[in-house]
Amino acid sequence: MDKKRIAWAITGAGHALEECIGMIMERKKIDLFLSRAAEEVLKMYGLYSRLQASGMSICRDEGKSAPVAARFYGGRYKLLIIAPATSNSVAKFVHGISDTLVTNLFAQAGKSRVPIIVYPTDLAPETLSFGPHREPLKVYPRPIDLENTGKLRRLAGTNVVGSREELTKCLATYL
């Protein structure tokens, strides 16, 4: 199998979504994985049709088990990127909950020692984000969300990034 592929998962976050889609569209050999919430948010932001038109492999969350996560054991992927990642997904990652496509990917990548890059939405006590109509929004993550991001930083094999620039730099180390 081609171990040169990247698995990229998107959760239901709007923060940094457009820049992440831009990065995905710039690269080849990416398999895209969408949570149910990601599909909804991509449509709200007008980005879903752009992904569909790209012709890339898109896997949707269709149940509690995720057989596609077994691809990590077969050596298909050299890297898992989860960007953007919601506070809900980050909480599940750090507490070992694997009940969605994306949380199963995170668990299986970790178990097969595939490096993981996560771009969480909750990185600072105050964040400027943009809504579906590009309106600026101030977001104030809860202390528990910031605590979970801190725990995520301490997980072996997991790199937490806080900007497109950091994501690009971290990604370059695996290419």
Coil vs helix vs strand at 158: strand
What are the E-state strand segments in the chain? 5-10, 30-34, 57-60, 77-85, 116-120, 127-130, 136-139, 158-160
Q: In order of start, what are the domains of the chain with their CATH numbers?
A: 5-172 (3.40.50.1950)
Per-residue pLDDT of the chain (175 residues; tens, 9 = 90+): 445 899 999 999 989 999 999 999 888 889 999 999 999 999 999 999 888 888 888 888 876 666 777 788 888 899 999 999 999 999 999 999 998 899 999 999 999 999 999 999 999 999 888 888 888 889 999 999 999 999 999 999 999 999 999 999 999 988 7
What is the per-residue pLDDT for 1? 43
Determine the pLDDT at residue 20: 93
pTM of the model: 0.93
